[in-house]
Structures are given as C-alpha cells and as structure tokens.
Chains A and B, each alone.
Chain A
Amino acid sequence: MMNGIAMMTRLLTITLLMASFMASHAEDVPPDFSDPESRSRYYDMIEEIRCLVCQNQNLADSNAELAQDLRNVIREKIEAGQTDKEIVQFLTDRYGDFVLYRPPLRDNTLVLWAGPFVILLLALFLLIRTISKRNAANADARPLTEETRKRIEAILRDDDGGENS
C-alpha cells in the first residue's frame, strides 16, 4: 500500500516536472500592447498569416514553435512602428506568398481568382441556353382543340368514378 502511494507520488512529480518543462519550453511572450490600435493590428495580422508547419492553421491558432517565433517577430515589428505592408513584405520575402491566407492577384494566381467567376458564367450560359431551348420547344406546341379537351375530361371523369365506386 505504501509502495503504491509512493509510486503515485513519484509519477505525479514526474508528470508535473514534464509539464513545467514543456511550459517553459513553449516560450510565447503574451502581447502587451500599450495602445489598442497596435493590439488590433497584431490580432488581425496573425489571423491572416499561415503557419507553414501546420499549413491549415493560421499563426493565431497554431502551437508550432515557428508560429510562436513569427508571432513574436510580428509583435516586435509592430512595436518598432512598421506598417502592415512592411511586415507582410518581410514575411513574403522569406516564405513566399504561401504565408498569406489571401493570395495576391498575380499571373500564377489568375486561375485561382478568375476560375470561380468563369465557371459561374459558364453555368449561367448553359442555364440560359437550356431555358430558351425549352421555351422554343413549348412555342411549337399547339393548344388543344375543343374536341380533344372534352375527350380528356371525359376519360378523367370516367376514371375518377370508377375508383370511387
């Protein structure tokens, strides 16, 4: 029994030690901006920059070390009075346009930007063509003659009576 408790204590100690090690290792300086504008710029920017280690997360969401480093770089640059444009330029000069969640319009991103609109136009074109074709087919149809209409009504009435009886 004593052994069990001693073991548990030891395990707990090890776990806590490891936790404290990990906490100290993940050295992420919490941003402490004096003015609210820098603060909102910081938070807007880390939403817009991709973490390259875990590519479907932005810097705000990612726990990767590189994301922490880049957050610190952004914070330092905002504090140093750099504009958003300068900071984005700094990052794209090193990591390429891929760090941006909104890719800029360039030659190689033209398909990306224009593609959906091209497909939309194509779909509209096909839709209009189908509708006008259908209308043309309907225009060909002649209205029922009085005689045919009466025959149809008679058949329907007959059928109806048959079912009810």
Chain B
Amino acid sequence: MVRYLVPLGIFGLLIVAFLFGLQHDPRKIPSVLIDKPVPAFSLAELSEPDVMITEQGLPSRPFLLNVWASWCTACLQEHPLLVSLSEQTGITIYGLNYKDEREAALQWLERYGNPYEKSLFDHEGKTGIELGVYGVPETFIIDGNGIIRHKHIGPISGDSLRDTIMPILKQLKAEST
C-alpha cells in the first residue's frame, strides 16, 4: 500500500514546487543595491545640459528615482500614474533618462507630461549600469540619506503603487520625522 503512495507523494511535492514557481517571475531579479547608498554619478540635467547633478545633489527627503526613456513603450504605460502621483501627492520624483536622445526625451515629456522634478540625462547608460538597471522602466525608492530602499522592476501599476510603493514611502516619512 505504502509503495503506491510514494509516487502520489512525489507528485504532490511537484505540484507544490510548480505552484511556487508560477508565482515567481524569473525576470524580476532582486537588486543587490537595496540598503546601499546611491552610487556616485555626475550627469547633466535633461533640459539644462550645462547643469551637472551628482549624487550629492539628490533630495534630502524620501523620493522616487524613475528610470525611463522615450523609446520605452512600457514607460508610457506607467507614465500617467507618475504624473498624477506628483500632481496629487507632492511626492518628489527624479527621472533617469536612460540611453535616450535629448530632443526625443524632451518632446516625449512635453507630449505626455513631466512628473519629474529633475531628469538626469544618462545618454551612455553608465549610471544605469551603476544602478544595476537591466530593463526600463525601473523605479527606486531612495530615503533622505541617499540609501536605496526598494526597487520596482517594470511599469508601476495602480496595485503596486498602493500595496508596495506608498506604504514604503509612508514608512520612510515616519522614520525621518
């Protein structure tokens, strides 16, 4: 009797493993930069090529750093959400314009709205590599001390905004006061 239960048991274990595997998106690789400071960079502002911004010039309050590009269709998907987020909540959003052309990027912002307090122009994608960016859009939550606290890969949805990003921002705000 027992010997017939063994294959059934193995089958059950496989089902559990498969269910676990299905929940897990292999495209989402946990960032190794969580709880680490923002890497050093020096990039020009998108709309003002003469203004250089370094990691020292980042806000001293919790903010979002959104990696985007005008060629990125998934960025367009999350963009209205970012626009309304900056308009309605006053949360600071910085953009990292990744491997883009300045003209195209500025036109894109004009057309779809600009939720970014500043956009850093990473034409070469070097800062993207420093940040471990491998697919745009990506969004980092950075605290007031310049420490990366969370990374969202892919377009932000209403659900992920409500369930993950807002609670983390709220917690960071509570920490800093």
Contacts and interface: CB of A to CB of B under 8 A. Distances in A.
Interface of A: 52-53, 55, 65-66, 69-70, 73, 92-96, 98
Contacts of A92: 32
Contact of A96 (B26, B32, B130, B135): B32
A69 B125 contact: yes
A69 B129 contact: yes
A70 to B, nearest CB: 7
Contacts, number: 33
Interface residues of B, number: 15
Contacts of B99: 65
Interface in B125-168: 125, 129-132, 134-135
A11 to B, nearest CB: 25
B54 interface: no
Given A52-B134, A94-B129, A94-B132, 4 more contacts: A53-B135, A55-B26, A66-B134, A96-B31
Nearest to A73: B129
A70 B130 CA distance: 11
Interface of B: 26-27, 29-33, 99, 125, 129-132, 134-135
B129 A70 contact: yes
Is the contact region of chain A dominated by helix, strand, or loop, or is it mixed? helix
B135 A94 contact: no
Nearest to B32: A96
A115 to B, nearest CB: 12
A70 B31 CA distance: 17
A22 to B, nearest CB: 13
Contacts of B29: 52, 95-96, 98
5 contacts: A53-B134, A55-B27, A66-B134, A94-B129, A96-B29
Contacts of A55: 26-27
A112 B27 CA distance: 19
Contacts of B129: 69-70, 73, 94
A14 B27 CA distance: 36
A67 B32 CA distance: 19
